[in-house]
Amino acid sequence: MMFKQGRDPVPVVMRRLVRRMQRAGVPYAVMGGMAVYAHGHERVTNDVDLLLTRAGLAEFRRRFVPKYYEQVPGRPRRFRDKKDKVTVDILVTGLYPGRGEPGPIAFPDPEAVREEIRKIHYINLTTLVQLKLAARRHQDFADVVNLIAVHNLDTSFADRLHPTLRRDYIECLEEKRREDEYTAREE
């Protein structure tokens, strides 16, 4: 299942999950591909990533599992929406992006880093870029390159990032420049 638009399963599951979290009063921020999309880069994704505190995760489990979501065996923070079979990954404040190994960047409190876009709380752009860089996965770097393009980010944006991530951000800027040169040659 891939996200495109409208009634595709991933955004439907995200909106349904967000409504449940809002009604329950659980602070959250949407992350991952859906946040990238909300920040202007249209790309496909097949899951919903949600940032919660430990207390938020406990409340999610208490209220919604197993009624609406089933636990994925062997994955303590991965759930499957029972109606549309879309995966929901819960990212928890204090844990680490990527492989989960301790590093300089941990998942923050969702209330401290969220912004409202179309009535849904998404992680803000700076934190999204920072966590994408810290995860150190190919798709995450590609997302950063595309967010640079969408927002016309430049070297000054690096000042907003943790010092350990600035080199990777500059490399993403360089990749964007290389892509622009390649595109210009093709025209």
* Domain extents in the chain: 9-186
List CB contacts of 179: < 8 A, sequence separation 6 or more: 145
pLDDT for 2-11, tens place per residue?
445 556 899 9
Fold classification of 9-186 (topology level): Beta Polymerase; domain 2 (3.30.460)
pLDDT of residue 6: 57
User: What mean pLDDT is predicted for residues 134-157?
Assistant: 95
pLDDT of residue 101: 87
More confident: 56 or 100: 56
pLDDT of residue 184: 81
Residue 29 pLDDT > 50, yes or no? yes
The fraction of the chain above a pLDDT of 70, given in percent, is 96
Tell me what percent of the chain is helix, strand and coil, each rounded to the nearest 5: 50, 15, 35
